[in-house]
Amino acid sequence: MVIKGLLYTKEHEWAKVEGDIATIGITDHAQEQLGEVTFVELPAVGREVVQKDEIGVVESTKAASDIFSPITGTVTEVNTKLKTSPEIINDDCYGQGWFCKIRITDKASLKNLLDAAQYEEYLKGL
């Protein structure tokens, strides 16, 4: 499942941009691949990140996967619910299972991201 209106990376993160804040998460394809998520490592609030910086880890019973920031900015909020209920990522990866929020400091970094149609096309090629 790919949601229209979101931006995507080839590493299967999504970003929802509202004003200068982007909400970040992992895609349905990513959670399908991982299986049951059992642990999430979140970035520190206030951390400044550059696009493609590693900002956390999602681990399932079978694999560990790094999360890379889709954009350049400052982490303003993290989804602390994931610490005790990481399975929300499996249940609702585009909604309740969001990962963190980042205040965009470099809008140009958005240009490198895929739109829903491009991401869907990319998935077909995998």
Partner 1 sequence: MRAAGTFIFEAKMKLPAGSVLYDEHLKLTNKSHIAEFAGYLMPLWFSSISAEHSAVRQQAGIFDCTHMGILETSGKNAEAFLNAITTNDVAALQVGSAQYSYILDAAGNVLDDIIIYRRGNNKFIVVVNAANEPKFNAYLDALLAGQAIVDLSKPRQLEFAKTRDMRDINSGSDCRVDIALQGPESVEVLGKIDRAVSKQAESLKSFTFFETKLVGIDCIISRTGYTGAKIGFEIFVHPESAAKMWNLLIEAGAVPCGLGARDSLRVEAGLPLYGHELDGPFNISPFEAGYGWAVKLTKEFFIGKATAEKTAKSYDMKVARIELPGEKGIRPVRQNDGMLINGIGTGFVLSSATAGNRQIALVYAIKEKIVEGTPVGVYYLARSESQKKMGKKENIDLGEKYDADINGKIVSRFEKF
Among the residue ranges 5-13, 17-25, 58-66, 92-100, the one whose residues contact partner 1 (CB under 8 A) = 58-66
Measured between alpha carbons, how far is residue 30 from residues 6, 8, 23, 105 in Å?
Answer: 15, 12, 17, 26
DSSP summary character for residue 42: P
* Least gap, CB of 58 to partner 1 (angstroms): 11
Query: One symbol per residue from 67 to 106: x for binding partner 1 (CB under 8 A), - otherwise; what is it?
Result: ----------------xxxxx-------------------
Contact flag: residue 57 with partner 1 (CB under 8 A): yes
DSSP summary character for residue 111: G
3-state SS class at 56:
strand
Compute how many residues bind partner 1; rule: CB under 8 A.
Answer: 21
Instruction: Using CB atoms within 10 Å of the CB of residue 26, give its burial: 0 to 12 exposed, 13 to 18 middle, 19+ buried.
Output: buried
* Tokens coding 25: 């998460």
Q: Nearer Cβ to partner 1, position 25 or 86?
A: 86
* Least gap, CB of 56 to partner 1 (angstroms): 8
